[in-house]
Structure 1
């Protein structure tokens, strides 16, 4: 008997034994038995599949970082009923960069329109609290080392770095204004960065951009820091939601581990996970500085 015939017989025998949808990840495996739902076709199966992934995320939030290397094994004895689901997942992974840019643009555009009344209110409070411009623009290092001007609501005195030069903001920094302290605690000072996202200079999710002077200083101490420049910087990122605010080289080194992990494992499900973590941080006021 030829090898090909033996292979065919073996595969046919295996096929008869497979009734379940199996989701396999590099670091862990979960099996969702859906035998009782095999008669449900079309959108019902898609919903069930996505719900299964969501349950995995809820139960194994930490481990789901590995989803960037996910492999979906889909086989069912009555035919390829899950073919469409597999196509959707594959497209999202293969076209991740395009998908992310479209998503970034749409959210930034809607966010600016919907938050425009809030922009006006914050601007009035900033002008009433201290002299100086409403917005603060500062040079940052973006993807491939290209610099750009980041937008933020001004939270410090206008001459904040006149004597110190470029330094990280500290907790209870005396240079921060009264309204600035509230903006930082609520993270609303970052809201204008939607403009940077709209222009394509930043993404909603990615490593936080550093100033050229600080970026160079960190790279001198930790050469791997330059790998962060492989992706667009973000308004929020894995390092921001998994590590407290830091203002030292030691903190930069610890956050670097999360940034490199994100670059290696980035995928749409991890992005969704970071968004939820960010919402939790904002609501709790954690991470404010």
Structure 2
């Protein structure tokens, strides 16, 4: 349906926009205007708004072209006018959004598989360079594999570039990494700072053990420890863990039960509000984190 000079947006589109606005409000609650992150915040906001404006302008251009072809007037209930009114009222977007949202997890798996496949091919030269640097810097394997808890409590082995000395936990046992951790190698410190150590997790995404976006997978020991203090923590296991997530872009590196409590808030928020627009926003925030080196330890 279309009123003169007014676009009537479908309910499906309104719901998606409401979710996106909700995510932005959560971001603002952390007083982003009062710290150095404000510039990156407005940059990502500008990109998001620009994308929406581009879509609106494209639709307006289609409208103008149709009007021009009809001599400036669309009269009666002609098939062209009816089709145009349906498009302008959000009909086509409503159907697409409804279909994609209904099959969100299927589409997300397809998206994850496609990006992981492409990423493994594109970054293969970088994998080789990093492997050489790791071998030159310290003894041990190139990759570090460790048990993590995935969707439904299933145990899998995560892939990462090794950033610590070989067998680093023989002396300490399972512990969170600390600032200036002496176990971290020289090249490992760079890999952690740049988040390049996470790249091999594309292998986990490729095989369906992880997603690009979701709560970070924890070790079985930490899941049991945190879960004993925070029972809602087990709700994170309802979806696939991710390489990046809302908690990672909204909170610093966690190394305690207190940090886990605060990050859990964002993980549960993502599980409740997960949608394509929120995933897109998390990707933008992640890019900012990678370029600034934030959240690394």
TM range (shorter): 0.7 to 0.9
Task: Say whether the 8 Å CA contact 2:143–2:159 is kept in structure 1.
Answer: yes
In 1, Cα distance between equivalents of 2:187 and 2:3: 67
Q: Note the aligned Cα RMSD (angstroms).
A: 2.7
What is the match of residue 296 of structure 2? 288
What is the match of residue 109 of structure 2? 101
User: Which structure: greater helix fraction?
Assistant: 2
In 1, Cα distance between equivalents of 2:3 and 2:224: 60
What is the match of residue 122 of structure 1? 130
Cα drift, residue 40 of structure 1: 4.4
Cα drift, residue 83 of structure 1: 1.9
Change (3 A) 1:96 1:159: same
TM-score relative to the length of structure 1: 0.77
Deviates more, 1:135-144 or 1:160-169: 160-169
What is the match of residue 20 of structure 1? 7
In 1, Cα distance between equivalents of 2:155 and 2:205: 14
Deviates more, 1:277-286 or 1:80-89: 80-89
What is the match of residue 263 of structure 2? 255
1:170 matches 2:178: yes
What is the match of residue 63 of structure 2? 39
Cα drift, residue 113 of structure 1: 0.6
- Map 1:81-100 to 2 at 5 A: 81=87, 82-100=90-108
Change (3 A) 1:94 1:185: same
What are structure 1's unaligned runs of at least 5 residues?
1-13, 43-75
In 2, Cα distance between equivalents of 1:110 and 1:184: 23
What are structure 2's unaligned runs of at least 5 residues?
23-52, 67-81
Report the number of matched residues. Answer: 243
Cα drift, residue 77 of structure 1: 11
Cα drift, residue 18 of structure 1: 8.6
Change (3 A) 1:20 1:137: same
In 2, Cα distance between equivalents of 1:41 and 1:142: 51
- CA deviations 1:138-184 (Å, max 9, x no partner) are 00000000000000000001121102111111111110000000000
In 1, Cα distance between equivalents of 2:173 and 2:241: 23
In 2, Cα distance between equivalents of 1:210 and 1:253: 14
**Residue number among 213, 221, 224 corresponding to 2:221 in the alignment:** 213
Cα drift, residue 41 of structure 1: 7.5
- Map 1:1-289 to 2 at 5 A: 19-22=6-9, 24-25=14-15, 26=18, 39-40=63-64, 79-81=85-87, 82-289=90-297
Change (3 A) 1:17 1:137: same
In 2, Cα distance between equivalents of 1:138 and 1:204: 18
Task: Say whether the 8 Å CA contact 1:15–1:77 is kept in structure 2.
Answer: no
Deviates more, 1:84-93 or 1:192-201: 84-93
Task: Say whether the 8 Å CA contact 1:207–1:232 is kept in structure 2.
Answer: yes
Cα drift, residue 16 of structure 1: 6.2
Task: Say whether the 8 Å CA contact 2:159–2:203 is kept in structure 1.
Answer: yes
TM-score relative to the length of structure 2: 0.75
Task: Say whether the 8 Å CA contact 1:245–1:288 is kept in structure 2.
Answer: yes
In 1, Cα distance between equivalents of 2:65 and 2:237: 44
Cα drift, residue 95 of structure 1: 1.1
